[in-house]
Amino acid sequence: MADTPAPDRLNFKQMCAKFDVTPRTLRYYEYIELLQPIKEGRSRFYTPREVARMVLIMRGRRFGFGLEEIRQWLMIYDNKGTRAQMDALLGLADRQLVTLAEQKAQIEAAITELTDLRHSVAASLD
């Protein structure tokens, strides 16, 4: 049966479920060449390589990296290997850590300001 994946492959529906993504998201990742599933007719199958790439994509998204940054980072592995990819990750991580620290400071300032406002409003009601 064409829609039954081999034991080492996931079909489209299984891939969506495994990573809790919508079909639209998975198709988009394919469209922008983050993923390259095996196509058999209208069916798509994802090999362990594609599953591993999806793990990296999801991790990159969680850390706040853009899809284009992730795509280029994955291409480094394809073109230059693991060492070059890890070197590139160091630069990406350093830059993102600065961005996340700035966001954290902004969030902490907003929490402090909102807490102070809440206390002020609560005190005016007493």
Share of the chain above pLDDT 90, in %: 88
Q: What is the pLDDT of residues 68-89, one digit of tens each?
A: 999 999 999 888 988 999 999 9
- Residue 106 within any structural domain of the chain: no
Q: Are 23 and 12 in contact (CB under 8 A)?
A: yes
Burial of 29 (0-12, 13-18, 19+ CB in 10 A): buried
Cα–Cα dist 88/56, whole Å = 14
SS3 of 38, please?
Answer: strand
| pLDDT at res. 2 | 52
Q: Is residue 115 part of a domain?
A: no
Say yes or no to pLDDT of 3 above 80: no
- Residue 4's pLDDT is 58
pLDDT score of 105 more than 80: yes
Domain membership of residue 54 (yes or no) is yes
- Number of structural domains, the chain? 1
Q: What is the CATH number of the domain that holds 62?
A: 1.10.1660.10
